[in-house]
Structure 1
Amino acid sequence: MTADLHLGQLILFDGNPFLSGVSAGRHLRSGAILVESGTIVRVGETEALRDANPQARIHDHGARLLLPGFVDAHAHYPQTGMIASWGKRLIDWLNSYTFPEEMRFDDAAYAAEVAERYLDLLIAHGTTSVCSFCTIHPESVDALFSAAEARNMRVFAGKTCMDRNAPDGLRDTAQSAYDDSKALLARWHGRGRASYVITPRFSPTSTPEQLGALGALWAEHPDCLMQTHLSEQVEEIAWVKSLYPRARDYLDTYEMHGLLGKGGLYGHAIHLEPRERDRLREVGAGLVHCPTSNTFIGSGLFDMAGLMAEGQRIGLATDTGGGSSFSMLRTMAAAYEIGQLRGRPLHPAELLWLATEGSADTLRDDRIGRLKPGADADFIALDLASTPAIAQRADRAEDIWEALFPTIMMGDDRAMSGTWVAGERLK
């Protein structure tokens, strides 16, 4: 099979820039990616790779920046249609907008329609992998994985489980949550590029019995990830404490039911207590920062600098539709703004790493979110002058980070000149 050689500017990471400094991100002004059978074979300087692969098909992207496809570590694809819904705090927002929309996903045709639209939106914005909550309906899981399979996308997802504090028609039981999740796991986990994720929504919408059943399922399938929410808003934390009076803290409601571990993904994690921070770090769990959601719903300011300094594993996410954009560029911009409000603005190298390799590490996948031999050939070509406003600022740049930053802050889907999934161009 003939290999493909993609030419352009590259940024390669040799480590976590939060820990190793921004020099962990290396810029190749004339770089190349050699792709064969959906996999990256080599990465390096253009001249060397062209000389070594004279038969390769050449794709010259000029001054465009070739980057790993973005990895969105926490999203709710069923909320696609009600993104940017006005003016509610978390609990009211769920009751007013989210739950009525999620009830529609018992209709397999509707679920398929939204799944198709959602993944097309991701591709348009340069996101090639996502970890998503579905609804309580198995049809919603089948719809997303089927749509991802048709595009050969790397997708993580699971049936959202809720057996209390949700409307009629949107509750399951402890037993049906276990049974449905186990059947879906058997059908999808490891099929192509799909990974099943055990998914209790959060402690307020699950009884102790349901959390225990899902903890048992995770113990039976420890290679799966588990995703949920943690300490998003102060009202939510008070509610959790009233529902679980014997728990030491919010995290303990998961820990006491077998839902704390290195494959755990805990969305938001804003208002953490010291014990919770210690335990999350000890087990190597993943925290997922959702900045546009945190500002849109008024949740609070994530402590990126403090959590990263103490050794937490952190990814970045849109949290659509609580998050107000499908774009990981906009998400990076919001993370920068939250950093400013906390007195520690994030460097473009840190933002880019979070949206790619950092999120991939949080999802325990070393084949996505990076440009290296052996990785899946999921990548984008980023136009650093996609609008007149961005172009005039980038023209003044003295290095690659100064050239990239205007696109992070002002860019959108127009900046995506192309999106490749497993070596195939989808945009």
Structure 2
Amino acid sequence: MSEQQIISGELLIFEGDPFTDAPEQAVQIKSDSALLIEGGLITQIGSRDEMVAAHPQAIHHAHKNKLICPGFVDAHVHYPQTAMIASWGKRLIDWLNTYTFPEEMRFADPDYAREISVRYLDLTAAHGTTSMASFCTIHTASVEALFSEAQNRGQRVVAGKTCMDRNAPDGLRDTAQSAHDDSKALLERWHGVGRLSYAITPRFSPTSTPEQLEAMGTLWAEHPTCLMQTHLSEQVDEIAWVHELYPKAQDYLDTYESFGLLGERGVYGHAIHLEPREIDQLNEHGAALVHCPTSNAFIGSGLFQMAALKARGLSIGLATDTGGGSSFSMLRTMAAAYEIAQLAGSVLHAGQLLWLATQGSAKALHLSDKIGALEGGMEADITVLDLASTPAIAQRYDNAAHAWDRVFPTIMMGDDRAIADVWIGGARVTPTA
């Protein structure tokens, strides 16, 4: 019998979708509560006193002035961009050419790929992120490194080889055939192994020929349980470029749709400047979007229309978009999502922000039956937030009028100091910056 452990304090519990139900009803903070971990799973949720009395042999981790949350789920990242995060002053295309592509070329070296995989997973754990969906590079070694390290940690990770066969430098292009063959081999090796999932990953239409997109669509049709992740409508000049490269396409989304790359398990990052037809098609196919607010602000991409898109019923996750995003922190990302929504004319409740960073992202990645909520039978990925982690936050906490008033300052001002505890697959992780 595996060791039993109890985590007690205030639990963040989801009773519904806070974008369709009242946020205070859909997302609740349960005081004097506890959860039981056994065999890597959450096996029970209940009152603290009853749980402790029923399991006297369990190791008890008690938390005061803290909020016990599902582990944060980062739905769109580029782990190979870890070392060049916060690189100054470029729009998307220049930024890729100046910073991103030279850094990604280094991942031809398996040792460097392993070094950055370890660094990235350490940094994200320190910020309370327990799962992510990552683009790798064109090099198979970049995928092997991330999956191997995640497997060693028992961590749930989605990733895929990034495919590019044009508009990229020498040494950072594959071909339509090699992209298909490499992706297929990696998929067959890793998809469904432990807590790992493979995502077919064309970077975006400008860096793939029609032949490569067709090859990726064929592979996805052959392996429909995989996710397919890519970028969509991030910047207006990018969209203009797509129209030049695909003059017969109805719109940006059509460059994917025409090649079998639109579907229920499709995950599309950014999606800021969508046409009405694109919204209709995404909705009809049940595809997911991922909001990357710190990246959208940092690179000057635009304002994501959260309220309008959620009103249409679209599945939306939240992401740092490392390293276009300027932080590894999902707290900072939630704060940026709040700020972007304000600029776009709507206000997001703290419960909605926490839902996006956990359950919303898990749903977007088709993993909400495993992660993203504190429920019996779910995998024990847990992040404990210290709601008084700095003097500035603590004085606000002390003057809070109600539970959500105590939580919101940590969302807006919190950083890795607010991460009091992290559990991945039922194993306690010591956050280290």
Q: 1:398 offset after TM fit, Å? A: 1.6
The one-letter amino acid of 2:214's match is G
Deviations 1:367-424 (A, max 9, x none): 1111001100000111000000000001111222111111111100011111100111
Match of 1:423 among 414, 422, 426: 426
Match of 2:382 among 379, 384, 397: 379
Q: 1:62 offset after TM fit, Å? A: 2.3
The one-letter amino acid of 1:19's match is T
Match of 2:144 among 139, 142, 145: 142
Q: 1:54 offset after TM fit, Å? A: 2.9
Aligned residue number for residue 8 of structure 2: 7
- The alignment status of 1:105 with 2:84, answered yes or no, reads no
Paired residue secondary structure (1:17): coil
Deviations 1:211-243 (A, max 9, x none): 000000000000000000000000000000111
Aligned residue number for residue 319 of structure 2: 317
- The alignment status of 1:407 with 2:413, answered yes or no, reads no
Aligned residue number for residue 223 of structure 2: 221
The one-letter amino acid of 2:180's match is Y
Equivalent pairs, count: 427
Aligned residue number for residue 398 of structure 1: 401
Q: 1:50 offset after TM fit, Å? A: 2.2
Paired residue secondary structure (2:171): coil
> Structure 1: 5+ residue runs without aligned partners?
none
Aligned residue number for residue 264 of structure 2: 262
Q: 1:27 offset after TM fit, Å? A: 1.4
Paired residue secondary structure (1:401): helix
Counterpart Cα distance in 2 of 1:397 and 1:264: 41
Counterpart Cα distance in 2 of 1:135 and 1:261: 23
Q: What are the within-5 Å matches in structure 2 for residues 19-418 of structure 1?
A: 19-22=20-23, 23-365=25-367, 366-418=369-421
The normalised TM-score by structure 2 is: 0.98
> Structure 2: 5+ residue runs without aligned partners?
none
Question: Conserved in 1, the CA contact under 8 Å of 2:32 and 2:48?
Answer: yes
Query: Identity percentage over the alignment?
Result: 68
Question: Conserved in 2, the CA contact under 8 Å of 1:338 and 1:345?
Answer: no
Q: 1:53 offset after TM fit, Å? A: 2.4
* Runs of 4+ with >4 A deviation: none
Counterpart Cα distance in 2 of 1:65 and 1:75: 26
The normalised TM-score by structure 1 is: 0.99
Counterpart Cα distance in 2 of 1:102 and 1:208: 23
Question: Conserved in 1, the CA contact under 8 Å of 2:12 and 2:70?
Answer: no
Counterpart Cα distance in 2 of 1:224 and 1:400: 39
Counterpart Cα distance in 2 of 1:406 and 1:355: 16
Deviations 1:18-65 (A, max 9, x none): 111112111111110101000000112212222332332211122321
Paired residue secondary structure (1:35): strand
Q: 1:3 offset after TM fit, Å? A: 1.3
The one-letter amino acid of 2:86's match is A
The one-letter amino acid of 1:16's match is D
Counterpart Cα distance in 2 of 1:233 and 1:167: 21
Deviations 1:104-128 (A, max 9, x none): 0000000000000000001000000
Paired residue secondary structure (1:96): helix
The one-letter amino acid of 1:387's match is T
Counterpart Cα distance in 2 of 1:381 and 1:359: 18
Question: Conserved in 2, the CA contact under 8 Å of 1:69 and 1:378?
Answer: yes
Cα RMSD for the two superposed structures: 0.7
Counterpart Cα distance in 1 of 2:419 and 2:244: 47
Counterpart Cα distance in 1 of 2:137 and 2:291: 22
Question: Conserved in 1, the CA contact under 8 Å of 2:82 and 2:323?
Answer: yes
Counterpart Cα distance in 1 of 2:384 and 2:163: 38
